[in-house]
C-alpha cells in the first residue's frame, strides 16, 4: 500500500465528518428542521466532534450547537445536561480565535433562555474564561464574549453580580472605546444589562468610568450603537438621584435632544427613556431638563411618532409636571397638553392612554390655572368616556378616574365642566357639582349662564341622598338663586302648576 | 367809815329800791328775754349763715380746685392716651409699611414671585422655540445628508453598472444598443459607458473563513498537534498533475532562506568582536607572549615585475593585445564580434532633408 492510499482513508473520514458538521450547522438555521435534528440525537453526535482533531470541524460543531441551543430552551438544556459546557469552557481558553468565537456563541445561546441556564454557565466557570476572551486581540472574539456576558447578566442581579465579580466591567468599558462599531454596540448593551438590576451594580459601572465614554458616543452616526448607548445611560440613571446627576454631569443635555429627532424609532424611544429616568428623581433635575428645552423636544418627539415609542415621552411629561406647579406650567407653556390630548384620543392601546391620562392628571392638579389649561384642551370628556367605557382596561379606568378627580378638584372653568354634568356618574358628579357650588355664589355672570345653559335644570334632576355631600352642594347652588327659579326648574313643576290651576276657584 | 355810815344810813332805802328794782326787772324779764332771744337768734342765724356761706364758699373753692385738678389730670391722661394711640397708629402704620415691604420681599424671594415666574415661563417658551428650531434644522441637515448619501450610493451603483456593461459600448463599426441608428441622439447610457472603465476580471474570492484551509488562520496561540492533513472539499483539477500531497508539501514547505539572508550583515564583525572578547577573557597573562630570541623582520623583497628596471608594462592594464603591428601575422586587425550599427556610425555626419545635421 502506498502512502497515498493510506492518506486517502483519512481524507475520506475527514471529509465525511466535515460534511456532516457543515450540513448540521446549515440545517440548524431553519426552525422546521430542529425537531428532526433533535430526534435524530444530534447532540450526542456533535459532542465528540467538539473534541475533533481538526479545528475546522470543532468550530463548525460549536457553531451547529450554538444554533441549536439558540432555538429553544429545551435544546439549551440538552446542551447543559450533555456536559458540553465544561468542554467548551476548557477549549475556550485554549483554542484559536475562530473556535473562541463559536464557543462564546454557544454560551450565549444557552444563557439567553433562562436564569437557571445562565446559572449553569456561571457554575462551570465560564465567566473567567469569557473575561479572558475580552482581553483577546481579535475584536470578533471580544464581541462574542461581551455578548455572552451581557446575556448572562441580563437575567437577574445575582448573575450580574457574578459577572461584575469576574472583573468584566473594566474590560467592557475598554471595549466601548474600541474602533469597531459592532463591538462597541455589544459592549454598551452588556453594560446596560449589568447596570439595570440594582444601584450597586450601576455604581460599579459608573466607577469604571463608563459614563464619559458612553456620553461621547451619543453623537455617533450609527443608530444601533446609539440605541444601546442611550439604553445603558438610562439604566444607569434610573436607580438613584446621585447616578442620575452623574449622568447629567457628563453634559449629555443639549446633545441627547438631537436623538429625539433621529430617524430610528428605537433611538427616539431610548432617548426619551433616558430623559424620563433623569427627570423622575428630583424637581431640580426636571428643572434642568426644562431649561435645556427638553420638554419641547419631547413634545415634538411625541408628535412625530406612534405607539410605544411615545410612552416614555408621555410619562416624562407627567413626571416633570408632578414635581411642582411651575414645572407643570412649563409643560403647559411648551404646548404639551394638546399633544397629550391627541395621544389620549388617538392611541389604540390602553396602556399608552393610561399613561397620557396620568400625565394630564399630574399637569392639571396644581392650581385652577393649570386645570383650566387642561380643561380647555377638551380633555375632560375624553377622560370621562375612557372611564365609562367598558372595553378599557382596569388600569386605564383607575388612571382616568384619578386624573379626572385631580383636575376637577381644581377646575373653575365652568364652560368645560357643564357638558360633564349630563353624563357623569355620581362619583364624578360629586366633584363637578362641588366646583359649581364653590364658584357660583361669587360670580353673577356665571350664575346667569348656568341657568341659560340648562345646568340648573340638570342639577335639579340629580337624585341625591339626603345628607350626602352631593346634596349639600346642590343646596348651596340652589341657595344662589331665587326660589321661583329653582322651583321652576325642578322636575314635575308643570304638573304641580296645572294642578294648582285646576284647584283654583275664581272669585266672582 | 363815813362811807360805811353813809351806806348804813341808806340801807333801808336799798331794800326798797332792791325790791322795786327786782319787781321791775321781773315785770320786763319776759319781753327782754324774748327780745334777747330774738336778737340772739337773729345774730346767731346771721352768724351761722355767714359761716355756712363761708363754708360753701370754701367748699366751692375746694371743689373747684379739686375738680380742676381732677379734670386736668384726666385731660392729661386723655391726652397721653390720645398721644399714645396716635403714636401707636403711626407705629402700626410704619410696621405695616415695613412688614409689607419685608413680606413682599420675602415671598417674592423665597416663596412665589409672580413676575419672575412670568418672566421665567416666557423665557422657557422662547427657549423652547429656539430648541425646536435648532432641532428642526438638525433633522433637516440629517435628512439632506441622508439624501446626499443615497444619491452617492446610486451614482456608485450606476457607475459600477456602467463598468459592468462596458461591452455594450458602440464601436466605430457597430453601433451599440444604446446608440441605435434609429434614434436621433444616443441614450445617456452611451455617454456613461464611454466614461466608464471596463471592469477587470475578478479573482475568485474565498468566501467563508470556515472554508479556508485551517492552516492559513491557525494563529500562534493554538497548539499544532498534528502535521497538516490535505484540505478537502475541493474538486480535483483535471490533468496529469503531480500527487496532491507532494504539491502541498512543496506549497507549504517552510521558508528556507539562504545563508546570506539568514545571517546578519554585521555578523562577521560581531563574531570577530566576540572572539576578541573571548580571547581577552580566557588569557592567563596580559602581556603578549614573546619568543625567546629577538626576531628580526624580513626585508621587503619586491616582485620581479616591479623590480625590473624598465618599469611596469601597460599590458593587462591598458590593453590586452600586443601593440606591435610589425609582429602581426596578417595585416588586419582583429575583427570585433558585432558589426557596428550603421545609424550610429553615421551619427552627426548625415544630413536631413532640411539640410540640418541629424
3-state SS record for A223-292: HHHHHHHHHHHHHHHCCCHHHHHHHHHCCCHHHHHHHCCCCCHHHHHHHHHHHHHHHCCCHHHHHHHHHC
Give how far Cα A475 sits from Cα of A459, A462, B271, Å.
10, 12, 120
pLDDT one-digit tens code per residue, B257-314: 777 777 777 888 888 999 999 988 887 777 766 666 666 667 787 777 666 677 666 7
For range B36-44, the mean pLDDT: 90
**Lowest model confidence (mean pLDDT) among A121-125, A351-355, A419-423, B300-304:** B300-304
Q: What percent of chain A has pLDDT over 70?
A: 100
Mean pLDDT of A271-288: 94
Of A4, A55, A297, the CB nearest to B218: A55
Most confident of A459-468, B136-145, B163-172: B136-145
Distance CA A441, CA A72 (A): 70
A306 near B CB under 8 A: no
Over residues A264-292, the mean pLDDT reads: 94
In this prediction, residue A171 carries a pLDDT of 93
Mean pLDDT of A229-245: 94
Nearest-angstrom CA–CA distance, A193 and A181: 18
Element (H, E) at A468: none
Which residues in chain B are contacts of A329 at CB distance < 8 A? 117, 121
State the pLDDT at residue B339. 61
d(CA B35, CA B33): 5
> What average pLDDT does the segment B3-17 reach?
85
Whether pLDDT at A496 is above 60:
yes
Contact at 8 Å (CB) between B218 and B204? no
Q: What is the largest CA-CA distance in chain B?
A: 262
CB-CB under 8 Å, A258 with B229:
no
Q: How far is it, in rounded angstroms, from Cα A428 to Cα A450?
A: 19
A432 vs A3, higher pLDDT: A432
Q: For A46-69, what is the mean pLDDT? A: 88
**Cα–Cα dist B160/B143, whole Å:** 25
Determine the pLDDT at residue A369: 93
Burial A473-506 (b: 16+ CB within 10 A, else e): bbebbbebbeeeebebbeeeeeeeeeeeeeeeee
Of A328-337, A348-357, B24-33, which range is least confident? Answer: B24-33
Give how far A292 is from chain B: nearest CA, Å: 8
Most B-contacting residue of A261, A262, A292 (CB-CB within 10 A), to test interface: A261
Residues shown for chain A: 508
Is the CB of residue A334 less than 8 Å away from at least one CB of chain B? Answer: yes
Q: Is the ipTM here above 0.85?
A: no
Q: In 3-state terms, what secondary structure has residue B351?
A: strand
Identify the contact set of chain B against chain A, taking CB-CB distances under 8 A: 117, 120-121, 124-125, 127-132, 135-136, 138-139, 142, 146, 209-210, 214, 217-219, 221-223, 225-226, 229-230, 232-233, 243, 245
Question: How far is the alpha carbon of A376 from chain B, nearest alpha carbon, in Å?
Answer: 19
Q: How close does chain B come to A297, measured CA to CA in Å?
A: 6
Asked if the C-beta of A97 comes within 8 angstroms of chain B's C-beta atoms, the answer is yes
Q: What is the mean pLDDT of residues A89-111?
A: 87
Q: How large is the average pLDDT for residues A100-104?
A: 90
Please provide the average confidence, as pLDDT, over all residues in chain B: 80
Report pLDDT for A300.
92
Who among A63, A297, A333 is closest to B121 (CB)? A333
Each residue of B162-218: pLDDT tens digit? 898 888 888 888 888 888 888 888 888 888 888 888 888 877 665 554 444 444 444
B133/chain A closest Cα distance in angstroms: 10
CA–CA dist A327, A321 (Å, integer): 5
Q: Which DSSP state fits B203?
A: P
- The pLDDT of residue B214 is 44
Percentage of residues of chain B with pLDDT beyond 90: 28
Say yes or no: A5 contacts chain B, CB-CB below 8 A.
no
**Residue of A9, A98, A369 to mutate, interface with B, max B Cβ within 10 Å:** A98
In the structure, what pLDDT confidence band is assigned to residue B238 with cuts at 50, 70 and 90? Answer: confident
Partners of residue B328 on adjacent β-strands: none
Cβ–Cβ contact A4 with B under 8 A: yes
Query: Between chains, do A333 and B125 touch, taking CB under 8 Å as contact?
Result: yes
Query: Do residue B128 and residue A295 have CB atoms under 8 angstroms apart?
Result: yes
Chain B residue numbers with beta carbons less than 8 Å from the beta carbon of A218 are none
CA dihedral over A205, A208, A212, A216, signed as positive or negative: negative
Count of CB contacts below 8 A, A vs B? 92
Cβ neighbours, 10 Å, residue B71: 11
Chain B nearest-CA residue for A97 = B219
Query: What's the pLDDT score for residue B346?
Result: 65
CA angle A353, A357, A363 (to 5 degrees): 145
Residue B186, phi-psi category: left (phi > 0), alpha (psi -120 to 50), beta (remainder):
beta
Residues of A in contact with B116 (CB under 8 A): none
Q: Hey, are the CB atoms on B132 and A94 less than 8 Å from each other?
A: no
pTM of the full structure: 0.70
- The residue in chain A having the minimum alpha-carbon distance to the alpha carbon of residue B133 is A297
User: Measured between CB atoms, does A2 come within 8 Å of chain B?
Assistant: no
Give A354 to chain B, closest Cα distance, Å: 27
* Contact yes or no for A291 and B124 at CB 8 A: yes
Looking at residue B183, what is its pLDDT? 82
Contact B232 A297 (CB under 8 A): no
Cβ contact, residue pair B132, A95, below 8 Å: no
Q: How far is A172 from A142, CA to CA, in rounded Å?
A: 9
Place of cell 336778737: B39
pLDDT for res B347:
64
Q: What's the pLDDT score for residue B275?
A: 92
Q: Residue A238 has what pLDDT?
A: 94
Which of B117, B128, B218 minimises the CB distance to A296? B128
| Cell 392611541 sits on residue | A347
pLDDT of residue A226: 94
The CA distance from B218 to the nearest CA of chain A, in Å, is 7
| Higher pLDDT pick, B5 / B334 | B5
For residues A298 and A275, the answer to whether their CB atoms sit within 8 Å is: yes
pLDDT band at B70 (very low <50, low <70, confident <90, very high): very high
Cα distance between residue A47 and residue A87, in whole Å: 9
**Residues A254-279: what's their mean pLDDT?**
92
Q: CB distance from A137 to chain B under 8 Å?
A: no
With a CB-CB cutoff of 8 Å, which residues 52-71 of chain A face chain B?
Answer: 53-56, 59-60, 63
Q: What is the pLDDT of residue B216?
A: 41
**Chain A residues inside the 8 Å CB shell of B210:** 22, 56, 59-60, 63, 98
- Name the nearest CA neighbour of A429 among A479, A391, A466, A468: A468
Q: Do the chains contact at A329 and B117, CB–CB below 8 Å? A: yes
CB contact (8 A) between residue B218 and residue A257:
no
Who among A56, A290, A330 is closest to B214 (CB)?
A56
CB contact under 8 A, A10 and B229: yes
Quote the cell numbers at residue A198.
Answer: 440594582
- The beta-carbon neighbor of A297 closest among B131, B142, B230 is B131
Least confident of A15-24, A325-334, A425-434, B327-336: B327-336
The sign of the CA dihedral B85, B88, B90, B93 is negative
Give whole-number Cα distances, B137 to A217, A218, A227, B141, in Å: 21, 18, 22, 6
Please compute the mean of the pLDDT values over residues B224-232 and round it to a whole number: 54
Is residue A297 within 8 angstroms of chain B, CB to CB? Answer: yes
Contact across the interface for B135 and A19, Cβ inside 8 Å: no
Which of A4, A19, A296 is the closest to B132 by Cβ? A296
**What angle, 0 to 180 degrees and rounded to 10, lies between the N-to-C axes of helices A73-81 and A97-111?**
120
Chain A residue with CA closest to B121: the answer is A330
CA distance A461 to A477: 13
Return mean pLDDT, chain A: 91
Amino acid at each position: 500500500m502506498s502512502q497515498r492510499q493510506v492518506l486517502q482513508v483519512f481524507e475520506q473520514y475527514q471529509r465525511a465528518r466535515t460534511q456532516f458538521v457543515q450540513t448540521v450547522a446549515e440545517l440548524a438555521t431553519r426552525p422546521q428542521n430542529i425537531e428532526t435534528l433533535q430526534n435524530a440525537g444530534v447532540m450526542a453526535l456533535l459532542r465528540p466532534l467538539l473534541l475533533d482533531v481538526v479545528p475546522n470541524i470543532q468550530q463548525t460543531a460549536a457553531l451547529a450547537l450554538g444554533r441549536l441551543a439558540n432555538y429553544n430552551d429545551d435544546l439549551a438544556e440538552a446542551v447543559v445536561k450533555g456536559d458540553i459546557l465544561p468542554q467548551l469552557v476548557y477549549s475556550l481558553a485554549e483554542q484559536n480565535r475562530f473556535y473562541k468565537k463559536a464557543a462564546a456563541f454557544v454560551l450565549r445561546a444557552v444563557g439567553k433562555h433562562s436564569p437557571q441556564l445562565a446559572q449553569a454557565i456561571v457554575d462551570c466557570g465560564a465567566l473567567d474564561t469569557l473575561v479572558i476572551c475580552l482581553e483577546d486581540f481579535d475584536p470578533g472574539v471580544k464581541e462574542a464574549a461581551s455578548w455572552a456576558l451581557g446575556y448572562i447578566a441580563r437575567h437577574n442581579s445575582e448573575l450580574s453580580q457574578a459577572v461584575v465579580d469576574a472583573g468584566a466591567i473594566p474590560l467592557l468599558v475598554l471595549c466601548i472605546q474600541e474602533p469597531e462599531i459592532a463591538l462597541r454596540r455589544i459592549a454598551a448593551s452588556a453594560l446596560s444589562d449589568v447596570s439595570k438590576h440594582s444601584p450597586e451594580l450601576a455604581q460599579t459601572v459608573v466607577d469604571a468610568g463608563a459614563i464619559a465614554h458612553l456620553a461621547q458616543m451619543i453623537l455617533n452616526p450609527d443608530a444601533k450603537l446609539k440605541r444601546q448607548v442611550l439604553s445603558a445611560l438610562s439604566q444607569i440613571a434610573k436607580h438613584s438621584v446621585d447616578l442620575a446627576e452623574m449622568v447629567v454631569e457628563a453634559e449629555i443635555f443639549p446633545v441627547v435632544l438631537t436623538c429625539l429627532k433621529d430617524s430610528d424609532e428605537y433611538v427616539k424611544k431610548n432617548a426619551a427613556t433616558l430623559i424620563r429616568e433623569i427627570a423622575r428623581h428630583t424637581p431640580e433635575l426636571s428643572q434642568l431638563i426644562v431649561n435645556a428645552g427638553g420638554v419641547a423636544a419631547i413634545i415634538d418627539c411625541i408628535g412625530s411618532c406612534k405607539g410605544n415609542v411615545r410612552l416614555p415621552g408621555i410619562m416624562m411629561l407627567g413626571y416633570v409636571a408632578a414635581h411642582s406647579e411651575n414645572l407643570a406650567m412649563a409643560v403647559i407653556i411648551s404646548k404639551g397638553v394638546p399633544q397629550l390630548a391627541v395621544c389620549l384620543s388617538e392611541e389604540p392601546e390602553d396602556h399608552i392612554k393610561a399613561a397620557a391620562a396620568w400625565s394630564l392628571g399630574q399637569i392639571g392638579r396644581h392650581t385652577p390655572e393649570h386645570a383650566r389649561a387642561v380643561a380647555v384642551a377638551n380633555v375632560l370628556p375624553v377622560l370621562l368616556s375612557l372611564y365609562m367605557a367598558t372595553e378599557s382596561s382596569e388600569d386605564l379606568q383607575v388612571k382616568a378616574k384619578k386624573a379626572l378627580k385631580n383636575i376637577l378638584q381644581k377646575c373653575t372653568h365652568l364652560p368645560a365642566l357643564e357638558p360633564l354634568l349630563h353624563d357623569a356618574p355620581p362619583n364624578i358628579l360629586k366633584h363637578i357639582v362641588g366646583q359649581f357650588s364653590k364658584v357660583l355664589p361669587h360670580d353673577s355672570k356665571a350664575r346667569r349662564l348656568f341657568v341659560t345653559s340648562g345646568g340648573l335644570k340638570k342639577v335639579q334632576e340629580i337624585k341625591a341622598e339626603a345628607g350626602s355631600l352631593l346634596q349639600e352642594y346642590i343646596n348651596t347652588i340652589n341657595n344662589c338663586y331665587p326660589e321661583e327659579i329653582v322651583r321652576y326648574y325642578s322636575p314635575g313643576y308643570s304638573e304641580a302648576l296645572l294642578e294648582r290651576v285646576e284647584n283654583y276657584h275664581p272669585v266672582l | 367809815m363815813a362811807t360805811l355810815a353813809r351806806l348804813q344810813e341808806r340801807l333801808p332805802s336799798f331794800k326798797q329800791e332792791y325790791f322795786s328794782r327786782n319787781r321791775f326787772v321781773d315785770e320786763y324779764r319776759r319781753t327782754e328775754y324774748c327780745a334777747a332771744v330774738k336778737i340772739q337768734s337773729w345774730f346767731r342765724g346771721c352768724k351761722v349763715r355767714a359761716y355756712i356761706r363761708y363754708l360753701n364758699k370754701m367748699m366751692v373753692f375746694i371743689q373747684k380746685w379739686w375738680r380742676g385738678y381732677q379734670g386736668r389730670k384726666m385731660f392729661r391722661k386723655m391726652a397721653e392716651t390720645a398721644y399714645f394711640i396716635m403714636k401707636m397708629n403711626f407705629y402700626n402704620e410704619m410696621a405695616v409699611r415695613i412688614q409689607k415691604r419685608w413680606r413682599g420681599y420675602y415671598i417674592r424671594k423665597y416663596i412665589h414671585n409672580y413676575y419672575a415666574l412670568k418672566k421665567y415661563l416666557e423665557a422657557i417658551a422662547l427657549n423652547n422655540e429656539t430648541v425646536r428650531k435648532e432641532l428642526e434644522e438638525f433633522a433637516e441637515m440629517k435628512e439632506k445628508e441622508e439624501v446626499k448619501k443615497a444619491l452617492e450610493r446610486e451614482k456608485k451603483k450606476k457607475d459600477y453598472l456602467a463598468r459592468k456593461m462596458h461591452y455594450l459600448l458602440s464601436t466605430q463599426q457597430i453601433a451599440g444598443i444604446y446608440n441605435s441608428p434609429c434614434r436621433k441622439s444616443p441614450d445617456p447610457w452611451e455617454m456613461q459607458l464611454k466614461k466608464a472603465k471596463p471592469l477587470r476580471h475578478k479573482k475568485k474570492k474565498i468566501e467563508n473563513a470556515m472554508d479556508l484551509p485551517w492552516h492559513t488562520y491557525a494563529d500562534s496561540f493554538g497548539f499544532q498537534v498534528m502535521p497538516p492533513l490535505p484540505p478537502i472539499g475541493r474538486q480535483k483539477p483535471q490533468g496529469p498533475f503531480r500527487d496532491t500531497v507532494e504539491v502541498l508539501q512543496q506549497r507549504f514547505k517552510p521558508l528556507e532562506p539562504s545563508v546570506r539572508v539568514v545571517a546578519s550583515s554585521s555578523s562577521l564583525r560581531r563574531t570577530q568582536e566576540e572572539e576578541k572578547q573571548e580571547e581577552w577573557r580566557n588569557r592567563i597573562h596580559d602581556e603578549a607572549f614573546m619568543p625567546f630570541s629577538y626576531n628580526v623582520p624580513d626585508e621587503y623583497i619586491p616582485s620581479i615585475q616591479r623590480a625590473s628596471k624598465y618599469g611596469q608594462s601597460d599590458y593587462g592594464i591598458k590593453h590586452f593585445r600586443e601593440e606591435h603591428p610589425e609582429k602581426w601575422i596578417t595585416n588586419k586587425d582583429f575583427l570585433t564580434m558585432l558589426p557596428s550599427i550603421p545609424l550610429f556610425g553615421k551619427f552627426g555626419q548625415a544630413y536631413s532633408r532640411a539640410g540640418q545635421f541629424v
